[in-house]
Amino acid sequence: MSGTQTATTYGTVTKIFHWLTALFILTVIPLGAVANRLPYETNEQLAFKAQLFSFHKTLGVIIFAIALARIIWALTQTKPAALHPERKVETMLAELVHWLLYISLVAVPLTGWIHHAATEGFAPLMLPISQDLPFVPNDEGVAKLFAGLHWVWSKIMVAAILLHIAGALKHQIIDKDTTLRRMWFGTTDATIGTHQSSLTAPIAAVIIYIAATAAGAVSGLYTAKSDVAAADLAEVSSEWTVSDGEIALTVTQLGSPVAGAFDEWTSAITFDETATGILGNVETTIAIGSLQIGSVTDNALGTDFFNVGSFPTAVFAADIRSDGDAGYVAEGTLTIKDITAPLSLPFTLVIDGNTAQMSGSVEIDRRTFSIGQSMSDESNLAFAVTVDIAVTATR
């Protein structure tokens, strides 16, 4: 049995590629479907769901590598002729299905890989490679785009696989020819002749992909959507007007840091650096629904965490005092949900004329505010949450 193929037979290498790909594909699809539907309300449920998704993603990357190797190999080989070249429509449809599969084997795992690299948190790849990809930014918009493409194109893959299997069974049971046997190991003669190449099938496959992609765009699958609307925050009167800033937070999930930020918030600030004792005060109101924290955003906004449906805002109110050389501290309270707790935020401040730049960081225990009560230990979600604040304001 030759490793290469001829006009009458498939080679051993091609057969290995074919059945290895089939094995992985028929494993990765149900893995993803099951993992997607599993609940994640408890530590155990989240750990199991994440593990299945990790297997799914890891197999996807392996499939992508195998697909590239298979394509490179195929380009160097003679393709056996069709068994029934006289059945032009059937032969063209078989070619179309093969082209849909070729495209899918590259496009589907690649979009899933890009989605993984563009988002934060949940289910790492189980390979000794980086979780990131070159030229792929960590961006929720990019993640949503490729998550949508992955979903749409995976449906094309599933349809093509079903048609491929149906065609093989038709040849085996109805036609009783050697279509299936010549892809199995051993020597099986095929029709003597040459493979007739045509652009019809690859062009049709590309058109199908374009049409499905356009349908996904019309359906809004590629844009970030949230069932939770951020609270409308009232304008505030302030001695210092915030011109730029960020309220970011970092959690540790499954041992890896996951970073996010609140997009909408207001701050009313008074501050006089020449005063003694209390130098000013600050009241910051945060629209909880504006939180973006990668793949765990929806979970973070749910009832067991921030419960944004019942508590749309959080408020930090504090007095500002000097805390030594060029250091300051905002001492006050933080209210999240219906819980108010004391909080001291140390920060640095640089004032240049009427412009001030402030940066500070504080660590908060999520249990203080009954966030993630179902995650009663740190095996999936650490107790500590780091909040980093950077503000530029003008007087």
Q: What is the pLDDT of residues 107-160, one digit of tens each?
A: 999 999 999 999 877 788 999 999 889 999 988 889 999 999 999 999 999 999
Mean pLDDT of 275-293: 92
Give the count of beta carbons closer than 10 Å to the beta carbon of residue 225.
8
Q: What local confidence, expressed as pLDDT, does residue 362 receive?
A: 96
Strand arrangement of the beta sheet that strand 313-322 belongs to:
265-271, 278-287, 313-322, 327-336, 339-352, 355-365, 384-394, 241-253, 256-262, 291-292
3-state SS class at 370: coil
150 touches 32 (CB < 8 A): no
pTM of the model: 0.78
Read off the pLDDT of residues 291-330 as tens digits, 9 standing for 90 and up.
988 878 888 898 889 999 999 999 999 999 998 776 899 9
What architecture is domain 241-394? Beta Barrel (2.40)
Q: Is the pLDDT of residue 379 over 60?
A: yes
Give the Cα separation of 193 and 20 in Å (integer): 28
- Residue 26 C-alpha from the chain's centroid: 22
Higher-confidence residue: 324 or 265? 265
Give the Cα separation of 44 and 252 in Å (integer): 17
Domain 12-218 grouped into CATH 3.30.70: no
Length of the chain as a residue count: 395
Read off the pLDDT of residues 213-252 as tens digits, 9 standing for 90 and up.
999 999 888 886 655 667 788 888 889 999 999 999 999 9
Q: What local confidence, expressed as pLDDT, does residue 196 receive?
A: 57
Give the Cα separation of 329 and 348 in Å (integer): 8
Q: Is the pLDDT of residue 161 over 90?
A: yes
Nearest residue to 262 (alpha-carbon basis) of 285, 243, 280, 239: 285
Higher-confidence residue: 7 or 79? 79
Sort strands 265-271 and 278-287 into parallel, antiparallel or unpaired: antiparallel
Q: What local confidence, expressed as pLDDT, does residue 229 receive?
A: 67
Give the Cα separation of 247 and 262 in Å (integer): 6
Taking CA atoms, 329 is separated from 32, 36, 165, 348, 354, in Å, by: 48, 45, 68, 8, 20
The label of the residue with tokens 């909040």 reads: 387
Chain-wide mean pLDDT for the chain? 88
Residue 330 has phi, psi (to 5 degrees) of: -100, 110
Q: What local confidence, expressed as pLDDT, does residue 323 receive?
A: 85
3-state SS class at 38: coil
* Same fold flag, 12-218 and 241-394: no
Give the Cα separation of 122 and 53 in Å (integer): 8
Taking CA atoms, 18 is separated from 60, 203, 223, in Å, by: 16, 23, 35
3-state SS class at 178: coil
Extents of the domains making up the chain: 12-218, 241-394
Give the Cα separation of 141 and 226 in Å (integer): 12
Q: Give the highest mean pLDDT range of 12-16, 179-183, 283-287.
A: 283-287
Give the Cα separation of 395 and 269 in Å (integer): 10
Q: Is the pLDDT of residue 358 over 70?
A: yes
Sort strands 313-322 and 327-336 into parallel, antiparallel or unpaired: antiparallel
